[in-house]
Amino acid sequence: MDITILGIESSCDDTSAAVIRNTTLLSNVIASQAVHMKYGGVIPELASRAHQQNIVPVVDTALKEAGVAPDELDAIAFTRGPGLLGSLLVGVSFAKGLALAHDIPMVEVNHLQGHILSHFLDLPDRTLPHPDFPFLCLLVSGGHTQIVRVDSPLEMEIVGTTIDDAAGEAFDKCAKVMGLGYPGGPVIDRLAREGDPEAFRFAHPHVDGFDFSFSGLKTSFLYTLRDAVADDPDFIDRHKADLCASLQHTIVEILLKQLVRAAKEYDIRDIAVAGGVSANSGLRNGVVEEGRRRGWRTFVPEFRFTTDNAAMIAVAGYYHYLHGDFSSLDVSPVARIEE
Ligand code: KG4
Ligand code: ZN
Q: Which domain covers residue 317, as residue numbers? A: 4-127+305-323
Categorize the per-residue pLDDT at 326 as very low, low, confident or very high, splitting at 50, 70 and 90.
very high
- Ligand 1 atom closest to the CA of 144, numbered from 1: 7
Residue type, 79: T
Kindly state whether residue 334 falls inside one of the protein's structural domains.
no
Q: What is the mean pLDDT of the chain?
A: 96
CA of 272 to the centre of ligand 1 (A): 16
Residue type, 227: D
Residue 304 pLDDT > 90: yes
Among 140, 141, 173, 281, name the best residue to mutate to test ligand 1's pocket (greatest count of ligand atoms within 8 A of Cβ). 141
308 is in an annotated binding site: yes
Shared-domain flag, residues 185 and 283:
yes
What is the SS3 assignment for 89-121? HHHHHHHHHHHHHHCCCEEEEEHHHHHHHHHHC
Shared-domain flag, residues 154 and 293:
yes
Shared-domain flag, residues 157 and 106:
no
Residue of the CA atom closest to atom 14 of ligand 1? 185
> What pLDDT score does 251 carry?
98
> What pLDDT score does 33 carry?
86
141 is in an annotated binding site: yes
Shared-domain flag, residues 309 and 278:
no
Instruction: Determine the 3-state secondary structure of 232 from DSSP.
Output: coil
Give residue-wise pLDDT tens across range 208-261. 999 999 999 999 999 999 999 999 999 999 999 999 999 999 999 999 999 999
CA of 232 to the centre of ligand 2 (A): 38
Shared-domain flag, residues 177 and 252:
yes
List ligand 1's pocket residues with C-beta within 6 A.
Answer: 12, 141-143, 168, 171-172, 183-186, 189, 275-277, 279-280, 307-308
What is the average per-residue pLDDT within 167-176?
97
What is the average per-residue pLDDT within 79-88?
97
CA of 185 to the centre of ligand 1 (A): 6
Distance CA(41)–CA(20), nearest Å, equals 32
Residue 197, preceding bond cis, omega within 30 degrees? Answer: no
CA of 123 to the centre of ligand 1 (A): 23
Give residues with Cβ within 8 angstroms of 262, minimum separation 6: 136, 147, 149, 159, 160, 210, 268
Contact 148, 113 (CB under 8 A): no
Residue type, 50: A
Shared-domain flag, residues 268 and 163:
yes
Kindly state whether residue 43 falls inside one of the protein's structural domains.
yes
Distance CA(45)–CA(49), nearest Å, equals 6
Shared-domain flag, residues 173 and 213:
yes
Shared-domain flag, residues 245 and 315:
no
67 is in an annotated binding site: no
Instruction: Tell me what percent of the residues of the chain surpass a pLDDT of 90.
Output: 95
Instruction: Determine the 3-state secondary structure of 337 from DSSP.
Output: coil
Give residue-wise pLDDT tens across range 132-147. 999 999 999 999 999 9
Kindly state whether residue 198 falls inside one of the protein's structural domains.
yes
pTM of the model: 0.96
CA of 197 to the centre of ligand 2 (A): 27
- Ligand 1 atom closest to the CA of 190, numbered from 1: 26
Beta-bridge partners for 16:
9, 30
Among 307, 308, 309, 312, name the best residue to mutate to test ligand 1's pocket (greatest count of ligand atoms within 8 A of Cβ). 307
CA of 206 to the centre of ligand 1 (A): 24
What is the per-residue DSSP string for 233-301?
TTHHHHHHHHHHHHHHHHHHHHHHHHHHHHHHHHT--EEEEESGGGG-HHHHHHHHHHHHHHT-EEE--
Residue of the CA atom closest to atom 8 of ligand 1? 276
Residue 64 pLDDT > 70: yes
Shared-domain flag, residues 67 and 157:
no
Kindly state whether residue 156 falls inside one of the protein's structural domains.
yes
> What pLDDT score does 38 carry?
80
Categorize the per-residue pLDDT at 37 as very low, low, confident or very high, splitting at 50, 70 and 90.
confident
Among 112, 171, 176, 252, name the best residue to mutate to test ligand 1's pocket (greatest count of ligand atoms within 8 A of Cβ). 171
Categorize the per-residue pLDDT at 339 as very low, low, confident or very high, splitting at 50, 70 and 90.
low
Shared-domain flag, residues 296 and 309:
no
What is the average per-residue pLDDT within 4-14?
96
What is the average per-residue pLDDT within 37-43?
85
140 is in an annotated binding site: yes
CATH code of 266's domain: 3.30.420.40
139 is in an annotated binding site: yes
What is the average per-residue pLDDT within 12-18?
96
